[in-house]
A and B are shown apart, each in its own frame.
Chain A
């Protein structure tokens, strides 16, 4: 299988993911009558507004009713309410795929726009800041500590860190966040309890950026702490597994130094499964970001999702579910490419 072919298959699979999620979302909304309810409500609200406008010009009540009825029919056709939901499928799908996501009902960007796409564009960088920073920190520390532990398997250190990893894996991200708020913001009062900037936000680009980082520290710490444990343990186990292979014994028998054995033989062979678990860990941090942002009132995509649920803003929820999947799939694809580079078997098989 050539390199291009491998990547093409992975790409197709990920495209399949998008299609499945999209269909799942749209069919669920259609089949449960959820979208119809929402659209009817939107339409009635629009008609109420137009009635007041029309009442000023048309005095005759009969004529007014007729005009309104005509307008209502027009809107029903516009929203596709005259057709069963499955006939609207192509239309809705096209709109979501082209990211023509419509208007949010109550949520607004900081400059007052209600367009879902501007809402997402405003929030997306903030989430990426949290998730990527936390992921980078986690992978660097995890790799380093995991390898160290594997060479000291069975010692007290190994056991202690293994238990700590188990604890970190079992910690729900949002609860760890609450814990950090209680300790660092409420009790010690060294970090802000949430938000993006202090009030009032500091003037000047650099000071503003510093304030942003200051506010991002606790959420990043939370995300790191909860994903680090599982990651360390995974690296340790995989390195340990590989280091018991015969080719490692052979390498040692050749008289290579431990460092060389670790870098050239063990890590090289253990890299693909390590990357796999990094990929799987991404699901965790993305889901974790939704909850962590909620806890820290961090106005990113996760907090937006939470606010959309609280205000039952259907358009935003559909759009975000899709965009979350899109983000996830994109990140997966990057890692797939990485995987292909790391694992020669995929390339030359």
Chain B
């Protein structure tokens, strides 16, 4: 089929129109992105990463993309994860070494971080879990003791070191932590003579840490160099400095990444990228299957005629009248949200239109000289149908495959939007659905709902443009009209 198209100069004709050029360019870039994603992403991305909240715990929630800060005029903080694999200083004590981690950073922006957290991963100890202390040295010279607590975990047996927090790190969010609020209330009283109930500080922990109280109330962000000092007091003389795999101090950004984050902190950019191969697969495989069924039945129907023709055409009449979306919704609801099922159902209900048109084209071809000649040569019916007749309607079939593709992508997106998306495979429709369901539309989180919709629309548009460009090839009469 393809060699036929090349001979006819199809590609050249397609590239001669603007819509064709844009369509081909869009299609090629989508294919490239998809190939990169397939090569880079793990196959179980949906299960192990996207739908695993622990994976995104270090991210800020519902914040706009990083580049947005250039448009708002307000100060923003880009997300920062300070991480260390080994301590900057070790104090070997008799009761166990003290591991000190220093994270220095410069807060030049006039904004307060959206959250702060520290996390420890892979903590080993012989008898007693270590004590973690977090202090913050501020640009005004003040030193705040933020947190001091024993790492949760059972006592060791004292013979072999045991390891905790290998998969899921030990993580403390400072904002929601009661003892942090008590410590900060003390700090405010001692340094600024401010009386505050610890519970009043819930939600404004970061403002206290990174700001100076104002006489009229509220906090003014304090710019300059900060150092976060994390001390880990090990509690057995045999504990070593390498007993802690890594320590992280996270300053939650008020902006994040290329596309921002959703309410669970997921990086929308990675999710959107994953949608490319998924959308293309859904669209193209559905279009190929349904076109194959449609063309085969249409050719048989037109060429064989008689009873076969009547049966196929009546069936096609019935199927073409079935409202697809309600049936699709119903079947997916009952049979379960699986992507392959969506593709199968769309393909099984998508063929009749093509069958009807193919039949009418085959009726003309059948009475032509080519078919007569092949019949005279003694070719079998099947050989004529699927070697010679199909050859003559090839450009039309190609146009149909392209024409079907966006319909399948849009149908899947609509289904996902109703909450019937396959949970193991994130799609653009699902991202939009979660945004809509959690009310992102009504609080104006545009970065969550606009990009997936734009991508769906652009992908569909790409195939519509290709169809438009193919039109003069399929019905040559329009060539003069353009």
Question: Is B a genuine binding partner of A?
Answer: yes
Interface residues, chain A, with chain B CB atoms under 8 Å away: 13-14, 16-17, 20-21, 24-25, 28-29, 32, 34, 153-154, 159, 162-163, 166-167, 169-175, 178-179, 181-182, 186-187, 193, 237, 240-241, 244, 283, 286-287, 290-291, 294-295, 305-306, 309-310, 312, 317-318, 320-321, 324-325, 328-329, 332
How many positions in chain B have a CB within 8 Å of any CB in the partner chain?
A: 52
Say if the beta carbon of B30 comes within 8 Å of chain A: no
A291 near B417: Cβ-Cβ < 8 Å: yes
- The contact string, 1 if C-beta is below 8 Å from chain A, for chain B 420-450, is 1000000000001000100001101010011
Choice from A17, A25, A178, A287 contacting B436 with Cβ under 8 Å = A178
Q: List, in ascending order, chain B residues with CB within 8 A of A325's CB.
A: 322-323, 326-327
Given contacts A34-B334, A291-B414, contact A182 B441 (CB under 8 A): yes
Given contacts A186-B441, A306-B418, contact A283 B324 (CB under 8 A): yes
B19 near A163: Cβ-Cβ < 8 Å: yes
A174 near B326: Cβ-Cβ < 8 Å: no
Given contacts A162-B468, A172-B414, A295-B436, contact A287 B323 (CB under 8 A): yes
Say if the beta carbon of B399 comes within 8 Å of chain A: no
| Dominant SS among interface residues on chain A | helix
Complex Cα spacing A294 to B458, Å: 23
Given contacts A170-B458, A324-B326, contact A32 B335 (CB under 8 A): yes
Say if the beta carbon of B363 comes within 8 Å of chain A: no
Complex Cα spacing A59 to B417, Å: 53
Q: List, in ascending order, chain B residues with CB within 8 A of A244's CB.
A: 477, 480-481
Q: List, in ascending order, chain A residues with CB within 8 A of B19's CB.
A: 162-163, 166
Q: List, in ascending order, chain B residues with CB within 8 A of A154's CB.
A: 481-482
Stretch of B114-122, B264-272, B294-302, B313-321 that contacts chain A? B313-321
B322 near A21: Cβ-Cβ < 8 Å: yes
Complex Cα spacing A313 to B178, Å: 43
Question: 3 closest A-B pairs (Cβ-Cβ)?
Answer: A287-B325, A170-B460, A175-B453
Query: Chain B: which residue is nearest A329 at the CB level?
Result: B321
A21 near B327: Cβ-Cβ < 8 Å: yes
Nearest CB of B to A270, in Å: 14
B481 near A240: Cβ-Cβ < 8 Å: yes
A305 near B324: Cβ-Cβ < 8 Å: no
A166 near B456: Cβ-Cβ < 8 Å: no
Complex Cα spacing A240 to B419, Å: 42
Instruction: Name the residue in A24, A170, A187 with the highest tally of chain B Cβ atoms < 10 Å from its Cβ.
Output: A170
B441 near A321: Cβ-Cβ < 8 Å: no
A20 near B418: Cβ-Cβ < 8 Å: no
B326 near A309: Cβ-Cβ < 8 Å: no
Segment 467-482 of B: residues with Cβ below 8 Å from A: 468, 471, 475, 477-478, 480-482
Offer 14 A-B interface pairs, CB within 8 angstroms, sorted by A.
A14-B321, A20-B319, A28-B331, A32-B334, A32-B335, A170-B406, A172-B413, A175-B457, A186-B442, A186-B444, A286-B323, A290-B414, A309-B333, A321-B327
B334 near A17: Cβ-Cβ < 8 Å: no
Q: List, in ascending order, chain A residues with CB within 8 A of B390's CB.
A: none
Q: List, in ascending order, chain A residues with CB within 8 A of B456's CB.
A: 172, 175
Instruction: Name the residue in B319, B420, B464 with the highest tally of chain A Cβ atoms < 10 Å from its Cβ.
Output: B464
Query: Chain A: which residue is nearest B468 at the CB level?
Result: A166
Say if the beta carbon of B410 comes within 8 Å of chain A: yes
A167 near B414: Cβ-Cβ < 8 Å: no
Q: List, in ascending order, chain B residues with CB within 8 A of A153's CB.
A: 481-482
A193 near B442: Cβ-Cβ < 8 Å: yes
Q: List, in ascending order, chain A residues with CB within 8 A of B481's CB.
A: 153-154, 240, 244
Complex Cα spacing A153 to B478, Å: 10
Say if the beta carbon of B461 comes within 8 Å of chain A: yes
Query: Chain B: which residue is nearest A291 at the CB level?
Result: B414
Q: List, in ascending order, chain A residues with CB within 8 A of B205's CB.
A: none
Given contacts A167-B461, A175-B432, A309-B419, contact A324 B478 (CB under 8 A): no
Say if the beta carbon of B465 comes within 8 Å of chain A: yes
Q: List, in ascending order, chain B residues with CB within 8 A of A179's CB.
A: 450, 453
Complex Cα spacing A187 to B478, Å: 43
A291 near B432: Cβ-Cβ < 8 Å: no
Instruction: Name the residue in A21, A163, A169 with the highest tally of chain B Cβ atoms < 10 Å from its Cβ.
Output: A169
Nearest CB of A to B391, in Å: 25
Complex Cα spacing A325 to B317, Å: 15
- The contact string, 1 if C-beta is below 8 Å from chain A, for chain B 74-117, is 00000000000000000000000000000000000000000000
Q: List, in ascending order, chain B residues with CB within 8 A of A20's CB.
A: 318-319, 322
